[in-house]
Amino acid sequence: MLVGKIGKVYGILGWLNFFSFTENKDKIFNYLPWFILKNKKWEIIQFQKWKKHKNHFIIQINNIIDRSIAQNLVNTDIFIDKNQLPKLEKDEYYWNDIIQCKIFSTKKKYLGLVINLISNGYNDILVVRNDLQKKIMIPFIIKKIVKNIDIKNKVIIVKWN
């Protein structure tokens, strides 16, 4: 499961900017080990230290003490095993499970495919791409708008035009 991304090199000692995709950003450091896909093979990546830096983090990865070596990891996605995540309560979902779900209206009209979720501070919003390649924004409000979620079959039913 994708949980973060390594950004640009930070400084001369091999530190890297790091962006967490988890809801509570610093919880990402509880979900170890981290994996990267390198040359079509999964590799474990371990870090020595991390620090909060502005609206993201900087990390120092084991055995990387030089800016030029760290450069090889720029723009690398960080993954974890999904089993590392806490079990969810009823009617709770990981965004990763929602993405790629097909969206249908309560009138059985196909609305499109979930391509992303965003949060506006009040509630989450489904970003749906329809057959015309246009994006539709649907508030992710359980019971009021989102009537049914079937993660197993990747289908969501919404009360939407």
Task: Please indicate, yes or no, if residue 128 is contained in any of the structural domains.
Answer: yes
How many structural domains is the chain composed of?
2
CA distances from 7 to 11, 13, 73, 141, 148 (A): 13, 15, 8, 33, 37
Task: Please indicate, yes or no, if residue 152 is contained in any of the structural domains.
Answer: yes
Check pLDDT > 90 for residue 95: no
Q: What average pLDDT does range 109-114 have in this prediction?
A: 96
User: Are the C-beta atoms of 99 and 114 separated by less than 8 Å?
Assistant: yes
> What is the distance between the terminal CA atoms of the chain, rounded to a whole angstrom?
32
Q: Are residues 54 and 116 in the same domain?
A: no
CA distances from 1 to 28, 43, 53, 60, 141 (A): 12, 14, 24, 22, 24
Partner residues linked to 156 by β-bridges: 103, 149
Candidate from 26-30, 42-46, 84-88, 138-142 with smallest mean pLDDT: 84-88
Using one digit for the tens of pLDDT, what is the confidence trace for 12-40? 999 999 999 887 888 899 999 999 998 88
Q: Are residues 15 and 35 in the same domain?
A: yes
What percent of the chain has a predicted confidence (pLDDT) above 70? 100
Q: Are residues 119 and 152 in the same domain?
A: yes
Domain CATH for 117: 2.30.30.240
What percent of the chain has a predicted confidence (pLDDT) above 90? 70
Output the pLDDT for position 85. Answer: 84
DSSP-H helix ranges across the chain = 67-70, 95-98
